[in-house]
Structures are given as C-alpha cells and as structure tokens.
Structure 1
Amino acid sequence: MTRPSVLFVCVKNGGKSQMAAGLMRHAAGPAVEVRSAGTRPGTALNAQSVASLAEIGVDIAGERPTLLTDELVRTADLVVVLGDEARVEPAGGTPVEVWDVDEPSRRGIEGAERMRLVRDDIARRVEELRVRLAGLGTDSSR
C-alpha cells in the first residue's frame, strides 16, 4: 500500500499553504506524503504564520517557498488550494479542491489574532482531510 500524497498550494507559499502542510505533517506523521508550493512564491515564510504554528508545537521555520510545477501536481493524489487567489490547472488527472479559508483581515482583525484564526480554520480542515485520506488508504488496501 502506498501512502496518499497531498499538495497544498497558495500564491506565495509563505503562509497558508505552508501552515496546512505543517499541520498535516504534524497530524498524519509518515502516513501522508505532504508538499506545498506557490503559484508565485515569495522569498520567505510569513513570520506570523511560523509563530502561530510554533504556539501549538508545529515547527515550519526550516521550510522555504517553492514554485508550483505541473510535475508536483501530477505526482500528488490531491491538490488543495488555500484561498481564492491561486489558480491550479489539473494535471495528470489529479483532483484539485479549493478551501475558502477564513480571512479575518476582511473583518478588521490583524496581527497574531488574525493568524491564530487562520491557523485554527486550516487545522480543522486539515484534520478532516487527514481522516478522509486515512479512509482512502484503508480502501486501497482491500
């Protein structure tokens, strides 16, 4: 049985997609292969994203933004796009789903409070996905 792979994508690959990847690695351990990438990657991670995950024991400080490629999409079992800004063209039949992640700044919430709300929304979605992926692994072994 092969482990499922998921690719998390946002525009800069410095915040939300890196958070999702870190949260999935933390929740699923080696049971899920996890990658993240950006459609127009920045040069560094968002410091508030890193700090908000560190608060709950998830370390993504060593990660770096990566450019999204067709190969990354093709080799994933699922692509998850975080937010409504990034666009991913399906490649090789890989399904793409979009998470409309909470954006507290639209409600005037900024700083660490904003990032905790974003983190918690992504964490909830990651846990739901982890359970779905575990079910796929069970089904494929039958």
Structure 2
Amino acid sequence: MTDRPSVVFVCVSNRGKSVMAEGLMRRVAGDRFDVSSAGTEAKVGGSVNELSAEVLAELGVDITGHAPRQLTGEIAAAADLVVVVGTAARVDPPPGVAVEVWDTDEPSLRGIDGIERMRIIRDDIAERVGELAERLSVRS
C-alpha cells in the first residue's frame, strides 16, 4: 500500500451501493484515503439513485453531484483495494490489487422496500466502511 491507500468501491450501476460506500468512506476517513467508485455496467450520463442520496443526506453526506462512472482496467489497476459492494457485480482482480466482495444485506428479499430498505442498506455499508477504514489505517 502507498502512503495514502486507494480504494475503489464497485457495484453494477454506480448509482447506489458503491456511491453510498464512497460517500460514507469520505465522511469517516476524510482525506486519509483516495476514494472513488465505479460500476461494471454504469450508464454514463445517469444520476445517483434518489433514495440512496436521501438516506445519506440524513447523515449529512451529499452524493447528489455524483455521475456514474464505468469501471475500467486502468481504474481497478490503479487502486490498492477494489471493494465490490453487493454480489451482483463481477470484477476480475487486476494483478497486485486486492479485491473484497461485501455480501451486503438485501432487505427486499424480506419484503422491505423504499426508504426503509435504503436505510438498512446504508447502515450495513456504513458499518463495513468503518471497519475498512480502521483496517486501512492500521496498514498505512
């Protein structure tokens, strides 16, 4: 790892879970890490998921200006760590780059939808981000 570890959070669309993780990591870690996000099937020109933005705003995190970004080999290879948020996205690990997959809670499987679903997902991701920031701080 470099002096300032680089983390890329990845999901399929880069409109929800990975953006939430990026915003939460910036909130927790400030500028101690280089943090970004991308999607394996991002629609460039799209916008962030409105419910994701709403539940992060409840914590004082603003992701409304985020624009989805497509994951490329270059983006992944430049990171110290790629974190796949959820199990839908598939990422081939670049040589020398660690990849973690977070099997995040999916409340819709229990019939929980809407804003309550997003709050549960947010809280799951927030806990994981906090643990990751702590682990990375120890390594750097």
TM-score by length of 1: 0.94
Structure whose residues are more often helix by fraction: 1
Q: Which runs of 4+ in 1 moved over 6 A?
A: none
Q: Distance in 1 between matches of 2:139 and 2:67?
A: 29
Amino acid at match of 1:64: A
User: Could you say which residue in structure 2 is the equivalent of 1:8?
Assistant: 9
Post-superposition shift, 1:29?
0.4
Post-superposition shift, 1:97?
0.7
After superposition, residues 7-86 of structure 1 pair within 5 angstroms as 7-42=8-43, 43-86=46-89
- Number of aligned residues: 137
List gaps (5 residues or longer) in structure 2.
none
- Classify the secondary structure of the residue corresponding to 1:62: coil
Post-superposition shift, 1:90?
1.0
After superposition, residues 77-96 of structure 1 pair within 5 angstroms as 77-96=80-99
Amino acid at match of 2:64: A
Post-superposition shift, 1:122?
0.1
- Classify the secondary structure of the residue corresponding to 2:55: helix
Q: Distance in 1 between matches of 2:69 and 2:109?
A: 27
User: Could you say which residue in structure 2 is the equivalent of 1:100?
Assistant: 103
- Classify the secondary structure of the residue corresponding to 1:98: strand
Post-superposition shift, 1:95?
0.8
Q: Percent identity?
A: 58
Amino acid at match of 2:42: P
Q: Distance in 2 between matches of 1:101 and 1:108?
A: 16
User: Could you say which residue in structure 2 is the equivalent of 1:140?
Assistant: none
Post-superposition shift, 1:73?
0.7
Q: Distance in 1 between matches of 2:129 and 2:5?
A: 14
- Classify the secondary structure of the residue corresponding to 2:31: helix
CA RMSD of superposed structures (Å):
0.8
Q: Distance in 2 between matches of 1:45 and 1:74?
A: 25
Q: Distance in 1 between matches of 2:139 and 2:75?
A: 20
